[in-house]
């Protein structure tokens, strides 16, 4: 099978949707070497995270050539790709990050769409008005025209059904896997090096993810007051204007010396931070899946997450959960972990068992099954 992919995020993004896109591409290419994967991306980027894909013999990249994008690279991605698919002999196209070319029907091939979330509808206050309108138009249209949809959680599936006129039968839920780097053994000298490099204390709480309002770092800062004074909070992620509120709250509570902000952490260092942390926390008010929960559990780090979206799917019975508005409950949950070696041991064991269910090989197999289903559905619809 020749499979085409919207590879913008795989090429350009270092985290988030880029991680998902690369994981799918690497896993499918590795598990199905008889298939050829063509990654369509509007621009090149010297991205170190592409190294594995660039070495895979059944993977190629397709960028705009001279004259192919007369109305710009955004137009090329939204409409121009479609007319290239016959020449590239593509049998099926997969939109990896919430959207398909809006004229994909002209290619007369089946299409698969991965929907990560519809947070622009569930939490519109987190987006500008123009972004809300554009996302709703593009992503809603993509849901309707896709032959099949992959939702990355049951929560996302419910949201798709709630906001868009889509048949439930064409949605498959496939949980996201975790990069293999989080599953590798770590050396003591590497851990010591990371502790020195980032000036980390003996005990700290780790929160990974963009420091934006939806991720709810304010709750974690407030919970820190209930923890022993030597315990610090390390926030790892892209900084946004919301960080000013977080730091202001820390100053108000006299916690500033216990807060450390780390931006642009190299990806290979991230597992080391999880392994060094006493606990991980992910109090996000809403997520499509919540990959940091899986990353923490894979690294044998006890995790506390928020209720209300999909995080209970990600963590199962291996994590503790609190309301995203209850800083006292979060503090108590973290204190219970810090104070109890037995609980730490129990949560570590449950976490490793739970995380083992998110196998990348299984993700590849389930995704490939959706491709085959889409081919059948398309043939049946065009008899």
- Quote the tokens at residue 209: 């993810």
Q: How confident is the model at residue 382 (pLDDT cuts 50, 70, 90)?
A: confident
134 contact partners, CB below 8 Å, separation of at least 6: none
Q: φ, ψ for residue 211 (rounded to 5)?
A: -85, 80
Residues 71 and 88 in one domain: yes
Judged against a pLDDT cut of 90, whether residue 113 lies above it is answered with yes
- Asked if 319 and 358 count as a contact pair (C-beta separation under 8 A), the reply is no
Summary mean pLDDT of the chain? 96
Q: How confident is the model at residue 353 (pLDDT cuts 50, 70, 90)?
A: very high
Beta strands 148-151 and 111-115, pairing class: parallel
Q: How far is CA 8 from the centre of its chain?
A: 15
- Asked if 270 and 258 count as a contact pair (C-beta separation under 8 A), the reply is no
Judged against a pLDDT cut of 90, whether residue 206 lies above it is answered with yes
What are the pLDDT digits (tens) for 242-300? 999 999 999 999 999 999 999 999 999 999 999 999 999 999 999 999 999 999 999 99
What are the pLDDT digits (tens) for 169-205? 999 999 998 999 999 999 999 999 999 999 999 999 9
Tell me what pLDDT residue 274 has.
98
Task: Give burial (CB, 10 Å; 0-12/13-18/19+) of 365.
Answer: middle
Residues 267 and 294 in one domain: yes
Residues 212 and 131 in one domain: no
Q: At what angle do helices 217-224 and 327-339 cross, to 10 degrees?
A: 60
- Asked if 60 and 28 count as a contact pair (C-beta separation under 8 A), the reply is no
Paired with 204 in beta bridges are 232
What are the pLDDT digits (tens) for 59-108? 999 999 999 988 899 999 999 999 999 999 999 999 999 999 999 999 99
| Calpha distance 280→3 (Å, rounded) | 38
Q: What angle do CA 48, 53, 58 make, to 5 degrees?
A: 160
Tell me what pLDDT residue 383 has.
79
Residues 202 and 105 in one domain: no
Tell me what pLDDT residue 14 has.
86
Q: φ, ψ for residue 284 (rounded to 5)?
A: -55, 140
The position carrying tokens 């894979």 is 298
Q: For the residues of 204-247, what is the DSSP string, one character each?
A: EEEEES-BSGGG-HHHHHHHHTTS-TT-EEEEES-B-THHHHHH
Name the range with the highest mean pLDDT among 10-14, 92-96, 377-381. 92-96
Residues 278 and 299 in one domain: yes
Q: List C-alpha distances in Å: 171 to 224, 226, 278.
A: 41, 43, 38
Residue 40: give the domain boundaries.
2-177+360-381
User: What's the total number of domains in the chain?
Assistant: 2
Judged against a pLDDT cut of 90, whether residue 229 lies above it is answered with yes
Residues 191 and 334 in one domain: yes
158 contact partners, CB below 8 Å, separation of at least 6: none
What are the pLDDT digits (tens) for 289-340? 999 999 999 999 999 999 998 999 999 999 999 999 999 999 999 999 999 9
User: Does this model's pTM top 0.85?
Assistant: yes
Residues 150 and 241 in one domain: no
| Calpha distance 174→146 (Å, rounded) | 16
Handedness of CA 372, 88, 30, 367 (dihedral sign): negative
Query: Which letter does DSSP use for residue 111 in this model?
Result: E
- Quote the tokens at residue 334: 């973290």
Residues 349 and 212 in one domain: yes
What are the pLDDT digits (tens) for 58-69? 999 999 999 998
Percent of the chain with pLDDT over 90: 95
Q: Helix (H, G, I), strand (E, B), or coil: what is residue 113? A: strand
Residues 280 and 347 in one domain: yes
Judged against a pLDDT cut of 90, whether residue 15 lies above it is answered with no
| Calpha distance 324→233 (Å, rounded) | 17
Residues 93 and 189 in one domain: no
Q: What CATH number is given to the structural domain containing 198?
A: 3.40.50.2000
Residues 293 and 253 in one domain: yes
- Asked if 274 and 182 count as a contact pair (C-beta separation under 8 A), the reply is yes
Q: For the residues of 322-348, what is the DSSP string, one character each?
A: E-TT-HHHHHHHHHHHHH-HHHHHHHH
Residues 191 and 241 in one domain: yes
């Amino acid at each position: 099978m020749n499979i085409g992919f919207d590879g913008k995020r795989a090429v350009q993004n270092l985290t988030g949707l880029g991680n998902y896109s690369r994981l799918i591409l690497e896993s499918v290419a590795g598990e199905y070497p008889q298939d050829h994967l063509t990654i369509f991306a509007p621009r090149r980027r010297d991205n170190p995270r592409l190294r594995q894909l660039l070495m895979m013999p059944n993977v190629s990249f397709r960028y705009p050539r001279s004259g192919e994008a007369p109305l710009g690279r955004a137009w090329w991605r939204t409409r121009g790709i479609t007319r290239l698919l016959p020449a590239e002999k593509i049998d099926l196209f997969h939109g990896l990050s919430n959207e398909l070319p809006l004229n994909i029907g002209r290619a007369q091939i089946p299409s698969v769409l991965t929907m990560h979330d519809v947070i622009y509808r569930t939490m519109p206050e987190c987006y500008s008005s123009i972004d809300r309108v554009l996302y709703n138009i593009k992503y809603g249209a993509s849901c309707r025209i896709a032959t099949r949809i992959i939702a990355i959680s049951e929560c996302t599936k419910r949201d798709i059904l709630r906001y868009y006129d889509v048949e439930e039968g064409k949605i498959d839920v496939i949980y996201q896997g975790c990069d293999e780097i989080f599953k590798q053994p770590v050396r003591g000298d590497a851990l010591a090096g990371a502790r020195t490099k980032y000036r980390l204390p003996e005990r700290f709480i780790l929160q990974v993810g963009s420091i934006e309002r939806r991720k709810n770092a304010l709750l974690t800062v407030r919970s820190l007051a209930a923890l022993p004074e030597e315990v610090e909070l390390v926030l790892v992620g892209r900084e946004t204007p919301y960080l000013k509120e977080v730091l202001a709250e820390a100053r108000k509570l006299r916690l500033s010396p216990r807060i450390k902000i780390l931006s642009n952490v190299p990806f290979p260092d991230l597992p080391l931070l999880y392994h060094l942390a006493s606990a991980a926390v992910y109090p996000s008010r809403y997520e499509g899946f919540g990959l940091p929960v899986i990353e923490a559990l894979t690294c044998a780090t006890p995790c506390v997450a928020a209720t209300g979206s999909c995080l209970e799917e990600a963590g199962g019975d291996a994590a503790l959960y609190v309301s995203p508005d209850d800083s006292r409950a979060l503090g108590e949950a973290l204190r219970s972990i810090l104070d109890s070696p037995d609980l730490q041991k129990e949560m570590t064991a449950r976490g490793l068992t739970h995380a083992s269910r998110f196998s990348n090989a299984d993700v590849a197999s389930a995704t490939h099954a959706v491709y085959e289903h889409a081919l059948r559905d398309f043939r049946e619809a065009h008899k």
